[in-house]
Structure 1
Amino acid sequence: MQGRFPPRAGRAGLGRQTFLASARAGARCSFFARIARALLGGTALSVALPFMPALAQADPASLAVNTVDVIQLAVFTGAMGAALISAIVLIRERARTASENVQLRARVADLTASLQRSEALLNLRDQRLIVWSSDRQKAEVVGALPAEAGSPDDRAAFIAFGRWLMPRSAASLDQAITALRERGVPFELTVETNTGIPIEVQGRKTPFHTIVRFTSLSENLLVQARLKLENQRLAADYETMVGLIEALKMPFWLRGADGRLRWVNKAYADAVEAQSADDAVRDGVEFLGTIARESIATHHQKNRVFEQSLSTVVSGDRRMFAVTDYESSEGAAGLACDISAVQTIHDEFERALRSHADTLDHLTTAIAIFDAKEKLRFFNQAFQKLWGLDVGFLESAPDNALLLDRLRSEGKIAEQPEWRRWKENLLSAYRAVDSQEHWWHLPDGRTVRVVANPQSNGGVTWIFENLTERMNLESRYNTAVRVQGETLDNLAEGVAVFGPDGRIRLANPAFTSLWQLPADIVSQKVHITAIQAKCEGLAVTSPWREFAAAVTGFDERRNSQGQTELKNGTVLRHAVIHLPNGQVMMTFVDITDSVNVERALLDKNDALQKADQLKNDFVQHVSYELRSPLTNIIGFTELLSLPATGTLSQRQREYVDHIGSSSAVLLTIVNDILDLATVDAGIMELEISEVEIEKTVRAAAELVADRLEEHSIRLAVDASNAPKSLHGDETRIRQVLYNLLSNAANYAPEGSIITLACRRTEAGVEFSVHDNGPGMAPEILDTVFRRFESRINGGRRRGAGLGLSVVKSFVELHGGNVRIATGARTGTTVTCFFPFVPSRIRDAAE
């Protein structure tokens, strides 16, 4: 290289240094070049393009030296071109902007002038606008109204229409604005301020704004607006009055100058039974009668207003109406108010007052009523009787002070130490609010409770209650209570009283002793459940659960009795008694001794019953066992008495006769015992048939003829009043008569007469046997029908004591009865009654 280009070697080194310096300078300028390229884009390149062919044909050596310069030149040239172009563009843009600014200034000036004109128009003192934008809910207020209109200048106060407009106008305006904003309904109103100034209001809505304009009116328009407001007010009042009249349940009518109906309400149409109010006016249907209308017309000749109660027929009923009718030069108007109910209430009130007075007049409590002027207006008979005053004096309406002085002068009330002060204190009841009570001790010993009851009308009702008898009764009652308390405390019977709340109210010492309770149980007001808990363990079977249920339960209140045994052997009879005042009383009686005696008696009775049963069984058994031998003895005795068996000596014949008679008596006794046993067993049945009385009496007489003849006793039979027959068991009736005659023959004296009488009664037949014997003692009469109760009592021989028992049993089986009349000198009469037809057949005699 050096050999090839020796002359340029040093220049080459210098050139590289220069290049490096240029490169460094180019590096420093590269930032500005990039900025210029960015600002000018392809401007520098377009400037450098003409120089590119020359650069390409240049010597590389020289190019290496001048490239940086060329680049710098190109950059500089591009920058200058860009600056020049920018300057040209800026000058042009500035000229255009200046032109636009001139136009905008002219436009702003025009708009400002227009705005000033609009504001001048809007700010006139005769109108004010409220504007709502479509995208803004807050209203804008523009303009002003005259000061005399009374509208506030403040925006918030102005929008609050109720503060400066009349209530009716404010309500109408609020409704109109609401309809305008929500539905776009325009409006024109005339509103009235609180000062009475009319203002015209218009409302309109555009796609972007809602505008309400308030405009004050000129003098002419002001007069018209006031007339319009007055017309609106009158129309509203008329509508209100018509609505009220239509709603009234009172007939209302308007008449023209000619007296014909012009308008009526619905109540009028209903009262005259018209289809509608128009039909009633068209047909001229009158509510009041002809006489009532003539009376109204006559009254209007002297007075425009007619007020009177008249009667008319409504729905078929005559009712009373308070009619008010007003007549003017153009017609008349009337209103009818139904006062039938009021009249009825008034009449009932009058009757109630009379009834009240009659009731007070019949009371035993003295009552006097004074009015606000302290004049006597009413007094009952008890008042006049209590004080013994003249009726004429009381009816003259004396004042209260005079009445007191009269009572004092007549000595009917006690003399007071300071009479004037005492009277003023008493009469202060007329100025009092509450009732006052006084006690008067009269000179005659009576005690009177005086109650002054102030009335709402300023009067006073005086009540004089004579408590003399009550105090005496109370004293006697307290004495009786103390006596009863002492009596209960000393009773051997335990007594306890429980209240409706279940707590003990009263208990005597016997109760606490029987149940081992503390003596202060009453003062502690112990509940029955606590007593139940203490007493349940003392009894074998405790009744306290039932006691608690009776005291505290809600079941039906029933009295009950019972018996319980304590574990210590004491037996208590208890009773639960419900008292009228809701309390419950319990009584406990110690019947231990009675129960022990009763148990002993029951044991003895059981033993006696068993012994009696053994006796009956023995008698029945022996009777059956004796009948067969007796039958044989009687048969053989009769056989021995026959001649065919052989001749008997006189002594033997007497022995045989004694054997026969004794056997017959013994057989009768055995038969009676068997009959009674059959009756007791309930197996005896009567053979009912028609019994001929005369035949039965004769047969019974023949059975006792030998015994009567033995003692020279005559039998007198009286059957004159006897019926021919009756229904019964003939055998048993004959046996009854035989026993009666045998019993009479045993007690009748020698040579006396026994009377057998038979007579008819209303229900049956009575057989009576009378003897003149010694009679029966009262103690014997009580046991005469007992079996085996045999006594001589003046008789010839002692029997078995079965005759009258058999008689009573057989008579009662027929449904009859037996009566005995006896006396020491009159003898004995036994009467047996048999019904014509046995009413019942009993299984056993009582």
Structure 2
Amino acid sequence: MPGLDPQQCGGAGLQGHKRKRGSGFARALSLALGGSMFTPVVAGAQNAVVVPGLGKISVGAVEVIHFSIVTGVLGAALLSAIALIRLRQRTAAENVALQSRVAELTNALARSETLLNLKDQRIVLWPGEGARPSVVGELSAESGAPLERSTFLAFGRWLTAKSAASLDRAVRELRERGEPFELVLETREGLLLEAQGRKSALHAVVRFLSLSETQRQNARLKLEHQRILEDHRNLLDLADHLDTPMWLRDETGALKWVNNAYARAVDMTTEGEVVAQQREFLPATARDEIAKVHAVQPSFSARLATVVGGDRRAFTVTDVASEKGSAGIAFDTSAIETLEREYESTVRNHADTLDQLTTAVAIFDQGQKLRFYNQAFQKLWDMDAGFLDNSPENALVLDRLRSEGKLAEQPEWRRWKEQLLGAYRAVEPEEHWWHLPDGRTIRVIANPQPKGGVTWIFENLTEKIDLETRYNTVVRVQSETLDNLAEGVAVFGPDGRLRLSNPAFRTLWNIPERLVEGDVHISILKAACDGVADDSPWDNFVAAATGFDDERRDSHGRTELHDGTILSYAIIHLPNGQVMMTFVDVTDSVNVERALKEKNEALERADKLKNDFVQHVSYELRSPLTNIIGFTELLALGTTGSLNQKQKEYVDHIGSSSSMLLTVVNDILDLATVDAGIMELEIGEVPVRETMQSAAELISERLREHGIMLDLHAENAPAVFHADENRLRQILYNLLSNAANHAPEGSRITMTASNTGNGVAFAVHDEGPGMSAEVLQTIFRRFEPRSNGGRKRGAGLGLSIVKSFVELHGGTVKIDTGEGRGTTVTCRFPLMPKGVREAAE
């Protein structure tokens, strides 16, 4: 109570309860007062707590400690409670703010999705490198874009190729370099879309937008503008790559663009320099002429001359002007002018050449009017030059020839003439034979021209037919004469083969008929006749027919057969290199011997006539062949008009066949010259390797056609030796031609030259099938073509010429052949022919 002394009021009872209640009291007091309403008092070993209204209460040290701990814990709990309350308040405020923010973001997301899912746009997002793109939004069906995601991303399926390529290129640049773009795309249905590409920190975004009608029109104009710009750039690039100068001028006439060819023509490096310096390509007079024409009409086209690179050249200039400027181009026609001059010269030369021909030629145009005739035509028909110079029609020329009695009368003249003039509607040459009233025979060839005209060729064959008739008569007389002679006659060629024989020869020597059929060699006859005579003279016969003696002397003798018949024989060397052997049964009478001599002289004259005839005919063949080849070359050049493909093939066939025939005729003349013994060699130093290469070049095209390789080896050969270079080249060419004919496709031919010590050997080896023994025996026989696995058959003169020319040089020919190892032909020549060596000594 207030005012009481604790010791008096509490007395012993209080002290008795002091220890029992001190700790709990202090705790309760601390809890009640929060540690702020009392103050502990320590006196000695005792603590006293002063409690308002109670005075001092004594407590121990333990109670004080407990009291302090409790007080600290209560204070900490109170502070923690206060902090927790404040934290909860802040958290609640933050949650409210976050909820508000989430609501705002949700609303924004909903608005974004609503905008993205509009039907007038579609967005493609690429998150990163290699990640699959996301597609958001939708385009209307009228836009032409597919709804399916995979099909939409395959731009090439629904966009045009050009738009798809542009979009792919722009997307690649956007994702790799972040370059934005805006494109107008065109679908395969012709509809337009706009594509916009942007790059953020994490995404590459491409937005496809549908366009309104106005936007679509603007987009189409933009697309057309892009196309026009691209076309403009392409045209300028094309102009820069042309060799033809081009230029553009503004409305004042100043240059504003030129191409590279223009810059080169005015000796400038770049087009910019030309425009900056206003360097003109045409001279002032030409520009003034162009300006005068533009004053009247917008286009100008004419041939002008200017100086380019120091040379005066002709150009065809075309210049077109408008209100905003002009454009021009210049084509170099200098080469064309040169060709025109050459063409005119060729036509004149052609006319001069035709005038020199003995064959009559007349050319009529598509209107059947005479445009050209040579002197031989006028001379053949003896027509007035004034009439021919007036370009009469073909029908009128025929009527005049008929009226003058120069053509044979036809039962139906009109039908005959219409049939003849049908050549103007034909595509193939036509051939006619006219037998004129004066006895002449004319071969008429109507050769249609590509442009509708006809070239008429009139060849007078009267003398040729007469010569052939006389020749055939002589041959028949000779044959009948020989066949009815009682004397045996046999003629052998330079190669030792039987050329001619009669039945008496076979009867006297009892030769089987099968042995004299064909081109039998004298060695075979020797084997059959050696057993018929006691002292056989056939060794002398073989030596005479196949020997190489410089002096060919006639000889005669007698021999006795086993049956008692005595034959008188004569070996007669004919002028053409052949050998005639006559056999007379002298047991009959001397008169028969005289008759044989007379017949022999007749045979010599007949044989000489035959040789002269062959040479004459061969020479006469060369002249028309040369004309045919010349006309064929003129037709192939196109100077008389362009040919279609079929006509070109015919012209090529004519040319190749004529050249082949001319080669055969030349070969016949060479062999005839050799056989006659009048062949003269032009001996000189011949370079071995160069001659081999020259012969190889002649056959190169044929080898290339069949894929055949040719190897030349002259390492072991001398550099030069003495021979006729032209004949040697002809020998090597024939050897290579024969090898090329038998070599398989894609095989190899080897030509080798080597030193033999006293001469030079040329060997040509092919990988063909080889020759059989029968073919090898007749390989040098003339006019006996054989394929033997070859590609084509020839006249059979190639190896005969080789053997004849090699033997004229004093050399030899050897053939090594067999199945599976090909064929090797070796020609051996002396370093210097005998006649040349003697002359040198």
TM-score category of the 2 structures, normalised to the smaller one: 0.3 to 0.5
Question: TM-score under structure 2 normalisation?
Answer: 0.46
Question: TM-score under structure 1 normalisation?
Answer: 0.46
- Which entry has the higher C-alpha Rg, 1 or 2? 1
